[in-house]
Amino acid sequence: MADIIVHEVGPRDGLQVEKQVVPTEKKLAWIRSLAGAGLDIIQLGSFVNPEKVPQTADTEELFRALAAQPRSKTIFSGLALNERGVERGLACGVRMFCLGVSASETHSRKNTGMGSMDAQRRMIAVAKEAMTAGAEVQMSVQSAFGCGFEGPVPESRVLEIVEAYRAAGCRRISLADTAGHAYPGQVRRLFGEIRDLAADVQCACHFHDTYGLGMANIYAAFEAGAASFETSFAGLGGCPFTKVAAGNVATEDLVHAFQRSGLCRDIDLHGIIAVARDVAAHFGREMPGRVHKTGPVSCS
């Protein structure tokens, strides 16, 4: 219970579909506030082609700016899709890479230009390169619960990818609900199968709230043994390479829910709410998250 990890993905996944590019200094202000609130991991950006994802063009600048400040307990992670991305990340001091493979053939080709099996071989090689260089690696299975283009994804394929990660020495593994198709019974079953397959794996989860089941799926994953939860401030986000891009579960909603159960008490919920409200003000529209609008229920 004490080892719950909150992985903030707002600066990357939250912003990547926004047309209005956020200035670097504004991003840094949000990130520093989130780190000050005690979040365990913050994903700063991705090492991808800036022409395809303009919001992440300053990822290296963010890592270098934050490396110059006093080190906090917060780990700053970065997403990479290939060898070049890891090279760029290592050059600016990334300590944790988030890498992944889609279990959906169609989504894999749209996201990386490769089929799922080719991407699996390549990304495992990339992960080994990053680990050899001394970085932590989290491997994800994208579209693990379904695909916006193909519909159901065979659970056998998801478990096959998980086992390939484990055989390569990766122990931090995330299941990502890229299209938001997951439902609680499926989540419990799949995480339970991973737990039975590999007790030494630290399970992470990443749910989109496309159909309103994001928080229910988080609780199902928690009950099934997941320890790390990827969420985004104000509920921003969505994969630009899936059929329906919808937001993540809001970080403030997750922390509020867990704190009501006596968990995550070392995180400053009010600090996260302040960031979510500033994000909403910056974009000038209502955000999907709830607690930054309603205010929290007292946990005392």
Catalytic site positions? 239
Q: What is the DSSP letter of 48?
A: S
Q: For residue 22, how many C-alpha atoms fall within 13 Å in the half-sphere facing its CB?
A: 29
Q: How far does CA 192 lie from the centroid of its chain?
A: 20
Written as one letter, the residue type at 104 is: S
**Dist CA 46 CA 57 (whole Å):** 8
> What distance in Å separates the CA atoms of residue 68 and residue 295, rounded to the nearest whole number?
34
User: Does residue 232 contact residue 255 with C-beta atoms inside 8 Å?
Assistant: no
Beta strands in 63-221 (DSSP E): 75-80, 96-102, 136-142, 172-177, 202-207
User: How far is 256 from 269, CA to CA, in rounded Å?
Assistant: 7
- The helix/strand/coil state of 33 is helix
